[in-house]
C-alpha cells in the first residue's frame, strides 16, 4: 500500500503538468482577448495603446515563449495575479477561499454517503414494494432536475416562504464576529450540493445489493436458515460497499464541479463562486490555478478511494502483492 501511495504522489506533478499544458492550449485557441481582460470590456483602447499593453505583458511574444515563462513561474509557486481580486496574487485568493469550499464539499459528501447507503439498503430490502418505488422515483426525479433549479427552489421554500434558514453567505453580516462559518448558513447549500450526486449513489447501492443477494455464497447462507436481515447486513452489504468506495472517488470531480452553481446561488464565498466570476471576467490566471487545485483534490480523492478499497478487500491486497 505504501508503494501505491508513493507511486500516485510521484505521478501528481506529471498530471499537473498535463493539466497545465492542456489548460494553456485551450486559452490559446479560445476567443479570449487578454488585452481586453486587463483594461475592461467597457474601455475603448486605441490600436497603439493595445500594442503597448501587449508588449508590456508579453502578449505579443510567440506561444512557446509565453508558455515557457508561465511554466517557470508556476514551478516557483507564482500563479500570477487575479483581475477579480483586484490584482492580488492568485495563490492568496485561492487559500482564502479553499476552506469554505472544503467544508461545503466535505459536508455534502457525508450526506451523500449516509443518505445513499441508508435509502439504497432500504430500497433493496423492500424490493418491489411501495417504499422501493418511492425511493426510485425520487432518484429519477433528482437525476433529471437541474442543480440550479433545486437550489432556487430550496432558497424560495426554506428561506423566503418558511424563513427557516438563511438565504446565503457563511454567516450573518450583522453579527459582531462576521467571520467563520455559521452551521445554519451551511445547511441549504450543503444539501443542494449533495442532491446533485445522491441519486447515483442510492441507485448504485440498491442495484449492487440486489446483485450480491443473488450470488452463490448468499444463497448458501440463506439455505442454512440465516434471516433476511442478517443476509442483507452481514453478507451482502460488505461486498456491495467495495465498489461503492470506488464510486466515491470517481464522482468527487462532479461534486467539486457542482460547487460553481451552488456557491453562486447561495453566495457561498468559496472557489466555486470565484470560478464563475473569473470566467465572466476572463481571469485566465485564476481559472488555471483553480483548475490545478481541483485536479489535486481529485487525484488525492481517488488515491484515498484506492487505499480504502485495498483495506476493505483482502483479495485486492493479495493480487497487488
End-to-end CA distance of the chain: 9
Residue 235 has what pLDDT? 67
The C-alpha atoms of residue 296 and residue 301 are separated, in whole angstroms, by: 8
Residue 35 has what pLDDT? 67
Angle between helices 2-29 and 284-312 (to 10 degrees): 150
Q: Is 282 left (phi over 0), alpha (psi -120 to 50) or beta?
A: left
Is 129 in contact with 136 (CB distance < 8 Å)? no
Mean pLDDT, 10 residues at a time, over the chain (321 residues)? 76 82 78 66 68 70 77 78 75 83 87 87 86 90 84 87 80 61 84 86 84 76 73 72 70 79 85 82 79 80 74 56 51
* Helix locations, 76-215, DSSP H: 90-125, 130-144, 147-154, 183-213
Residue 7 has what pLDDT? 79
Say which CATH class 90-320 falls into: mainly alpha
List the grid coordinates of 203.
441507485
Residue 284 has what pLDDT? 77
Counting Cα atoms < 13 Å in the Cβ hemisphere of 114 gives: 8
Domain boundaries, the chain: 33-78, 90-320
The C-alpha atoms of residue 155 and residue 149 are separated, in whole angstroms, by: 10
Residue 99 has what pLDDT? 85
Is 85 in contact with 95 (CB distance < 8 Å)? no
Taking the model in full, what pTM does it have?
Answer: 0.76
Residue 134 has what pLDDT? 92
Amino acid at each position: 500500500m505504501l508503494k501505491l501511495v508513493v507511486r500516485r504522489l510521484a505521478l501528481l506533478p506529471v498530471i499537473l503538468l498535463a493539466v497545465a499544458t492542456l489548460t494553456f492550449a485551450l486559452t490559446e485557441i479560445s476567443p479570449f482577448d487578454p488585452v481586453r481582460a486587463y483594461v475592461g470590456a467597457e474601455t475603448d483602447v486605441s490600436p497603439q495603446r493595445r500594442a503597448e499593453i501587449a508588449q508590456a505583458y508579453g502578449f505579443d511574444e510567440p506561444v512557446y515563449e509565453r508558455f515557457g515563462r508561465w511554466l517557470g513561474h508556476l514551478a516557483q509557486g507564482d500563479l500570477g495575479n487575479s483581475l477579480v481580486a483586484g490584482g492580488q496574487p492568485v495563490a492568496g485568493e485561492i487559500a482564502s477561499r479553499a476552506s469554505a469550499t472544503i467544508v461545503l464539499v466535505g459536508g455534502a459528501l457525508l450526506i451523500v454517503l449516509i443518505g445513499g447507503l441508508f435509502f439504497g439498503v432500504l430500497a433493496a430490502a423492500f424490493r418491489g414494494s411501495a417504499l422501493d418505488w418511492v425511493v426510485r422515483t425520487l432518484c429519477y426525479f433528482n437525476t433529471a432536475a437541474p442543480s440550479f433549479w433545486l437550489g432556487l427552489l430550496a432558497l424560495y421554500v426554506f428561506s423566503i416562504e418558511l424563513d427557516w434558514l438563511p438565504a446565503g453567505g457563511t454567516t450573518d453580516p450583522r453579527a459582531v464576529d462576521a467571520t467563520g462559518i455559521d452551521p445554519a448558513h451551511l445547511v441549504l447549500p450543503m444539501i443542494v450540493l449533495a442532491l446533485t450526486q445522491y441519486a447515483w449513489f442510492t441507485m448504485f447501492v440498491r442495484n449492487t445489493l440486489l446483485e450480491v443477494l443473488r450470488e452463490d455464497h448468499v444463497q448458501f447462507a440463506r439455505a442454512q436458515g440465516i434471516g433476511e436481515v442478517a443476509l442483507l447486513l452481514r453478507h451482502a452489504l460488505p461486498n456491495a460497499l467495495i465498489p461503492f468506495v470506488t464510486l466515491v472517488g470517481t464522482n468527487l470531480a462532479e461534486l467539486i464541479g457542482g460547487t460553481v452553481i451552488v456557491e453562486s446561488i447561495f453566495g457561498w464565498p468559496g472557489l466555486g463562486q470565484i470560478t464563475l466570476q473569473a470566467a465572466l471576467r476572463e481571469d485566465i490566471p485564476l481559472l488555471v490555478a483553480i483548475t490545478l487545485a481541483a485536479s489535486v483534490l481529485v487525484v488525492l480523492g481517488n488515491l484515498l478511494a484506492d487505499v480504502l478499497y485495498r483495506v476493505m478487500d483482502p483479495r485486492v491486497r493479495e493480487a497487488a502483492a
